[in-house]
Amino acid sequence: MSGADNVVWLGTPAFPEAARTALADTRLRANLRRATGTIRDKRLAIAAELEDWEELRETAATIKRHTLRHLDHHLLRLEKAVTAAGGVVHWAADAAEANGIVTALVQATGEDEVVKVKSMATQEIGLNEALADAGIRAYETDLAELIVQLGDDRPSHILVPAIHRGRSEIREIFRREMGEWGRPAPENLTDDPRDLAEAARLHLREKFLRAKVAVSGANFAAADTGTVVVVESEGNGRMCLTLPETLITVMGIEKVLPTFADLDVFLQLLPRSSTGERMNPYTSLWTGVTEGDGPQNFHLVLLDNGRTATLADEVGRQALACIRCSACLNVCPVYERTGGHAYGSVYPGPIGAVLTPQLVGIENAASLPFASTLCGACYDACPVKINIPEVLVHLRAEAVEAKRRDRLFPTSEALAMKAAGVVLGSPRRLAVVQRLAAAGARLVARDGRIGALPGPFARWSGTRDTPAPARESLRAWWRRTRPPSSEESRTTAEGNGR
């Protein structure tokens, strides 16, 4: 499979169609509204505790901008530091190469199962499926990821992958599927969150204790020391990162930071932006291999998979600064109503709308940049100040241009925009069109509103009323109510002459 095949879920409809289905799911919308609202309120409250919150954001954005401009340099520093600490670094150009590397490493241990710490990078490349094809079973250990895996489902949120599931649904999934993957759920399992968490703990513990190989993602990696960082809330990561003999980390190349000291900034921003906490309950850091302590074999797989191509785009590259906090999802009015599955990608929400089209090519995800109201709430919430609306507009232009290149003749929308340019380029032409539009509107308007319009305006006007043009334009009203001075008369005459 190609990188595009893995980042984008094959067979899923484009966003407009998928969103229409999601909007009809009242339970989904209720779950999303409750969960995102709760996380959003917690984030606002906890961020307000820091007087230097905005300074932290600006510092983080500066660090990320610097790192992306010198990414090759810092990656080579990281490789050198990890190697010096006893680890082994592998470079993967795409999903197929990364999957091949990880599969070969697991096979070399003689094991046929691995435990996993939640990692969007491994979801991006379809690692679980690649391992399964090689006869290796991967067990997700994050509670939400476990729910998704047992339910043969797909994640719908960066932080809370099973946000679309209710408690009763989770109970039924556990009762039906846990026995097929290991220890079955208790017979008297209820949908109380404590009972569900305990069932998951008992189910996973036997896997933690027998696993010889673990696969993890990485939140950050410090180039100067070779230290890799994973933050999580349940303790499953700590189990995976300390008990197995072999640890394989798959990390997107954009996760590198220049220095260990930079973690001070990001470990304040990330928990507050993601879970509304002052710090993550579990922050695990490891540097290579330490004899007698933790895994004795450490492999770091540095994943490109479209990131270098994204880096070449001076506007779009800022999406690579994302620290996967999900703050943009929790404030997005579009995501709150459609959920993550509608985006058809491992990366949902506003960040997915700008990252996915760049990783896979705009032609493979052309509808995603339009999955936004451009309200700017995502930009305000982003802890590293990614200007998502700016990138969305930039990618929309690319999508339109790509569509134009594939057509022999211009679209009706393009013709309409060209005609508008001609009209707006002349005050005289604009005045004539305004008078004609006002006269025509009076014939079809009902209560000051016009129904669906034909041609290129059909999609827009089919879901909203169009106000009827005023009987008198602003220019005509101004001319009628304010007798022009001699200077204004001269300027007007010059304008009408064009």
Q: CA 257 to CA 325: how far, in whole Å?
A: 16
Q: CA 263 to CA 282: how far, in whole Å?
A: 15
**pTM for this predicted structure:** 0.86
Quick one: pLDDT at residue 232?
Answer: 94
Give the strands of the sheet with 256-257, arranged side by side: 256-257, 220-222, 227-232, 282-287
Quick one: pLDDT at residue 437?
Answer: 79
DSSP-derived letter for residue 159 is S
Per this entry, what is the length of the chain? 498
Q: What kind and span of H or E run contains 286?
A: strand 282-287
Q: CA 307 to CA 430: how far, in whole Å?
A: 46
Q: CB under 8 Å to 472, separation ≥6 — which residues?
A: 438, 480
Phi-psi region of 262 (alpha: psi -120 to 50; beta: other; left: phi over 0): alpha
From first to last of its 498 residues, the chain has per-residue pLDDT tens of 455 557 777 678 899 999 999 999 998 898 899 999 999 999 999 999 999 999 999 999 999 999 999 999 999 999 999 999 999 999 999 999 999 999 999 999 999 999 999 889 999 999 999 999 999 999 999 999 999 999 999 999 998 899 889 899 999 999 999 999 999 999 999 999 999 999 999 999 999 999 999 999 999 999 999 999 999 999 999 999 999 999 999 999 999 999 999 999 999 999 999 999 999 999 999 999 999 999 999 999 999 999 999 999 999 999 999 999 999 999 999 999 999 999 999 999 999 999 999 999 999 999 999 999 999 999 999 999 999 999 999 999 999 888 877 777 777 777 878 889 999 999 889 888 888 877 777 676 777 777 777 766 677 777 777 777 777 888 888 888 887 665 555 555 555 545
H runs (alpha helix) in 447-485: 458-461, 474-481
8 Å CB contact between 160 and 35: yes
Closest-CA residue to 226 (of 326, 363, 78, 358): 78
φ and ψ of 69, to 5 deg: -70, -25
φ and ψ of 450, to 5 deg: -110, 140
Q: CA 28 to CA 32: how far, in whole Å?
A: 6
Sign of CA dihedral 177, 181, 186, 187: positive
Sign of CA dihedral 427, 431, 432, 434: positive
For 453, half-sphere exposure in the C-beta direction (CA atoms, 13 angstrom radius) is: 18
Strand 282-287 versus strand 227-232 pairing type = antiparallel
CA angle 209–214–219, rounded 5-degree value: 125
Dihedral (C-alpha) 386, 387, 393, 399: value to the nearest 10 degrees?
A: -10
Closest-CA residue to 139 (of 123, 154, 150, 153): 150
Radius of gyration of the chain, Cα coordinates, nearest whole angstrom:
27
